[in-house]
Amino acid sequence: MKELMRSNDLVVIATVEALLAGRDIDCLVLDQHMSALEGSIGILPRRVLVTEDDLPRARRLLTDAGLGHELRPEVGP
């Protein structure tokens, strides 16, 4: 799995999950339950991961949807 994006904004996370699901791209959202440790103030970002094979397609999808600014920088091999 590779990190696609991270955000504190739950609406952005839900939007990304819906976009990915609409294109049959499985994702995993990490750190969803960290709010219990941080006191529910939302300072720790949630991370969205996709498989390495789906990463280029997922990046293109988010860019086309106007969410390219949310993407993590691309890292070499």
In this structure, is residue 14 part of a structural domain? yes
What's the pTM value of the predicted model, to 2 decimals? 0.86
CATH of the domain at 66: 3.30.70.790
What percent of the chain has a predicted confidence (pLDDT) above 90? 71
In this structure, is residue 37 part of a structural domain? yes
In this structure, is residue 10 part of a structural domain? yes
Say how many domains are in the chain: 1
In this structure, is residue 75 part of a structural domain? no
Q: What is the pLDDT of residues 40-76, one digit of tens each?
A: 666 788 999 999 999 999 999 999 999 999 999 987 6
> SS3 letters for the chain?
CEEEEEECCHHHHHHHHHHHHHCCCCEEEECCCCHHHHCCCCCCCEEEEECCCCHHHHHHHHHHCCCHHHECCCCCC
Give the residue numbers spanning the domain of 43. 2-70
Confidence of residue 39 (pLDDT cuts 50, 70, 90): low
